[in-house]
Amino acid sequence: MGQHRSYAWLVGVLCGAAVWAQAPGVPIEGAPVARDGKTLAGAEALRAAGKLLNREAVNALLAKPQPARVALPPAGTQPLGAREVCRRARAALVRVGWYFKCQRCDKWHLNLSGGYALTADGVVGTCHHVLAAEKIEMREGYLVAATVDGTAWPVRTVLACDAGMDAAIVAVDGLRCEPLALNDQVAPGDPAYLFSDPLGVSGYFSAGLVNRFYWRQGQAGDATTLAGAKALRVHVSTDWAPGSSGAAVLDACGNVIGHVSTIAVLSGGDAKPATDPKQPATPPQPRPGQIVLHEAVPARCLMLLAGTLR
């Protein structure tokens, strides 16, 4: 038996096959998200069919959302293994962003960030700044969603949003996803997991922990009200970078405890949106004695925002 296993391993190595590179059923991530041919083709088909919201329509919806009743699933209480947390995060990932023509060429491009399914029928949470797209230079642009299999989906409307909170809830037509529940019963030291696309690297899973909850720029408020929680944020040590914005940060039970918002070096400079296409090719690099801060919008904010839809 031992000789047989050794022989099989040797054959795999000599043939260049990753026979045991991953466990059965584990997906192998593909090309960078912005160059995914299936998503590009799907986005173009939706645009040609008139099914995508253009930039003007999205801006109008950000100014005046169209609320509709949303029933969120209850938070799970059963601890899961990290593998299962990763599977759930991947299954619920909905990339949200722009299919656009830039100001330098006539080609169509994709700039997608993160989002996560809040219900099974296409209600998705993400960052407000992903929808606002203020730093993407485009001549013509359309909002689009995509699942991890590369399928493009049309965003129908914005249900709720808050720029100060950097949170938005949108409805995606036709989307069926395994949803994630929100959990605001979190404390420093709790595990924090993230499945996202940092710098276009698709399907990157990382683990860390909750560092602290705090008020941005000392803007203390009432964390039990929508208006009072606008400046509430959480730092986690989970890895992310530009391109991760809007992706769900999960706890050990597979619940959303927040979503990616910004990244910054502790000792200087402003926090940068983790979706900014003008960011350098690498995330902020700390010098000795510095650390990188990963700022997320806590689940409490999304729960309060969703509460306006009841």
Tell me the C-alpha to C-alpha distance, in Å, between residue 157 and each of 40, 145, 279, 292, 299: 21, 12, 28, 35, 22
Which residue, of 172, 199, 232, is where some domain finishes? 172
Distance CA 89, CA 206 (A): 11
**3-state class (DSSP) for residue 30:** coil
pLDDT reported for residue 187: 97
User: Looking at the domain assignment, is residue 26 inside a domain?
Assistant: no
Is the confidence at residue 20, as pLDDT, over 80?
Answer: no
Which residue, of 122, 144, 172, is where some domain finishes? 172
Co-location of 61 and 164 in the same domain: yes
Is the confidence at residue 158, as pLDDT, over 90?
Answer: yes
pTM higher than the cut 0.75:
yes
Q: Which residues form the domain of 131?
A: 33-75+92-172
Co-location of 206 and 284 in the same domain: yes
User: Looking at the domain assignment, is residue 134 inside a domain?
Assistant: yes
pLDDT reported for residue 21: 65
User: Looking at the domain assignment, is residue 61 inside a domain?
Assistant: yes
Contact status, residue 264 vs residue 279, Cβ threshold 8 Å: no
Co-location of 215 and 110 in the same domain: no
Tell me, rounded to whole angstroms, the distance of Cα 134 from its chain centroid: 18
Exposure string of 27-61, with b = 16+ CB inside 10 Å and e = fewer, is: eeeeeebbebeebbebbbebbeeebbbebeebeeb
Specify the CATH number for the domain of residue 200. 2.40.10.10
pLDDT reported for residue 272: 56
User: Looking at the domain assignment, is residue 110 inside a domain?
Assistant: yes
Distance CA 118, CA 75 (A): 11
Co-location of 115 and 208 in the same domain: no
Percent of the chain with pLDDT over 70: 86
Name the residue with tokens 């040797």: 10
- Name the nearest CA neighbour of 305 among 70, 115, 64: 70
Q: Per-residue confidence at 7, pLDDT binned at 50, 70, 90?
A: very low
pLDDT reported for residue 29: 85
Is the confidence at residue 13, as pLDDT, over 60?
Answer: no
User: Looking at the domain assignment, is residue 177 inside a domain?
Assistant: no
Q: Per-residue confidence at 288, pLDDT binned at 50, 70, 90?
A: low
Q: Taking the CA atoms of the chain, what radius of gyration do you get in angstroms?
A: 20
Co-location of 120 and 210 in the same domain: no
Co-location of 274 and 158 in the same domain: no
Contact status, residue 147 vs residue 157, Cβ threshold 8 Å: no
Q: Per-residue confidence at 96, pLDDT binned at 50, 70, 90?
A: very high
Spell out the residues 6+ positions from residue 42 whose beta carbon is closer than 8 angstroms to its own. Answer: 146, 150, 151, 152
Which residue, of 141, 172, 203, is where some domain finishes? 172
pLDDT reported for residue 274: 63
| Lowest model confidence (mean pLDDT) among 131-140, 166-175, 294-303 | 131-140
Distance CA 272, CA 127 (A): 13
Residue 264 CB coordination number (10 Å): 17
Exposure string of 206-215, with b = 16+ CB inside 10 Å and e = fewer, is: bbbebbebee
pLDDT reported for residue 265: 80
Q: What is the mean pLDDT of residues 54-79?
A: 96
User: Looking at the domain assignment, is residue 7 inside a domain?
Assistant: no
* Structural domains of the chain, count: 2
pLDDT tens digits for 226-284? 999 999 999 999 998 888 999 999 999 999 999 999 988 876 555 556 655 444 445 56
Task: Give me the residues paired with residue 95 across strands.
Answer: 146
Q: What is the mean pLDDT of residues 116-124?
A: 96
